[in-house]
Chain A
């Protein structure tokens, strides 16, 4: 449009952009709203305390030198952490839990994201019903899911293989990925894919160049849910773990029956830290942040 001398298009556009910025909501923290803000703040603090208090108790338990919870604590000691890290059983369980959580995350993410895409795009008959079925593991008590899978494996005479445990975990984590992916697909502008097709991208390239990057925040959120739910999973694992290959929550539960000491607290602290690191790590490597400002 280089030939237009009469008007200055960029001027006009800039004006438009400027008026847009001006329209951004101004912060109105004056007058009667002031009082409301304190209430808002107080409620948020209360919720935070409610959420964090159990973690605080666990940390106190983990650092307390006595083998029982004592209030006020009589000192700080790392003996339970030492015991936890020195225990072959716990270390094996921790490694195994991470392994299972990792495989679960990969399979739940691939299956869940694919399922969500098929549901959102496939024009499938009865898609709504399929969504309900997909989410049903969330509604069924997980202990029943575990028992049902266990019986299935027994009937099939496959024993209790690691893939069976991963399958069980995948079953209960899949709904998270389906949900979060469906949520982003719901707001997805199909014209973006058409634009890519129009510009010469094959269906596969369109998927990897446009669709996937745009639904990534949802898929990733689902993957993080899947990892944490699998890593902390107890009811499904209860029946599906095999001798010698027990996940950390099951090992903790069994340990609890014989020794109730700070090792449980130490293990919990390590779990929390690990889960936190995984979230941070996913955020950094796969990059949640760059897609938040869409």
Chain B
């Protein structure tokens, strides 16, 4: 049955001192779709390979359902894995590929046949049993890889960028199906990806990694709405990041002086007593945009004036790049409310926001 995984202070240091994984700690819950997200070289794949047993950590431990498996060889870990580019055995048929894990486990022929049939039916590949991998399309190969991994009823399913080689449409469809399958089987699934949209769409929780470290672990909403670090805020979606010195508004509320005449009121949650430099993030869609002069002029620190520099039409929304009077540049996203409500480059605009939407970042 599905298991929980505890990654306890795992580091991987290669010859030459490169820290591929640096003191990573996280708990992956049973039945959870858990993503490791980050740019290439962030250590997400190495972490996955450590879980699979292909790499031995330099320090730290891996526990599955509380049992330490750090030094258990890969072939005794009972984990399924879907590889990038699938790693199907080219010299074996589809059915033989799927049967491989069962055969290694010493199942008898009849039960292998039944299970292979069921697994192939589950991924809708019935009838292709005797094909070679090279005779299949990319999507079909992906399904074979998935069937091969789940047919052994693994305690954990590991996926290393499994959808990376598919075109966009097929990819979205497979995301949906993989998620459904995971829920249906109650699989604990560890999913490595560099695609933040994919991670946000599929995961129960996400660990954002950078430079071998975990920056933040949280649900997609937490990761998006309350990024804790500058890296996470920047990596996930579009955002405006400001850095400045603490100050106060005329009303005595805590604020941030980001220079060039722009003062940002800080959310009440921000420590009013603090001093010194600080970074904050403000999502483009949290900013309201109105024609200049229309607005009643919000409180100090919650509005600014600027000129639309260019627009990016996204369909359901429009992204504006705006130059503020103080020469700051800022991204603003507005829902597409109809042609008559759109701004064009050169329009003077007023921006306003709620201090609570500012997220204070760790540096």
Contacts and interface: CB of A to CB of B under 8 A. Distances in A.
Interface of A: 1-4, 7, 9-10, 12-14, 16-17, 20, 189, 191-192, 194-203, 205-206, 209-210, 213-214, 291, 293-294
B89 A202 contact: no
Interface in B159-208: 167, 169-170, 173-174, 176-178, 180-181, 184
A294 B134 contact: yes
Contact of A9 (B88, B101, B173): B173
B85 A1 contact: no
Nearest to A4: B177
B177 A9 contact: yes
Given A191-B87, A214-B90, A293 B138 contact: no
Given A1-B124, A3-B180, A13-B137, A200 B101 contact: yes
Contacts of B81: 194-195, 198
B173 A4 contact: yes
Chain A interface, DSSP helix/strand/loop, else mixed: helix
B75 A197 contact: yes
Contacts of A16: 137-139, 167, 170
B267 to A, nearest CB: 41
Given A195-B89, A199-B148, A213-B91, A13 B140 contact: yes
Contact of B170 (A2, A12, A196, A214): A12
A5 B102 CA distance: 30
Given A1-B177, A198-B79, A17 B137 contact: yes
Contact of B101 (A13, A17, A199, A213): A199
A10 B124 CA distance: 7
Nearest to A214: B91
Contacts of B173: 4, 7, 9, 12
Contacts of A205: 104
Which 4 interchain pairs have the tightest Cβ spacing? A199-B101, A200-B104, A1-B177, A17-B137
Given A4-B176, A194-B74, A199 B83 contact: no
B88 to A, nearest CB: 8
Contact of B134 (A198, A203, A206, A293): A293
18 contacts: A4-B180, A13-B137, A13-B139, A13-B140, A16-B167, A195-B81, A195-B148, A196-B100, A197-B54, A197-B75, A198-B53, A198-B75, A199-B101, A199-B104, A199-B152, A205-B104, A213-B91, A293-B132
B327 interface: no
B26 interface: no
A26 to B, nearest CB: 20
Interface string B95-107: 0000011001100
A20 B53 CA distance: 36
B300 interface: no
A202 B74 CA distance: 9
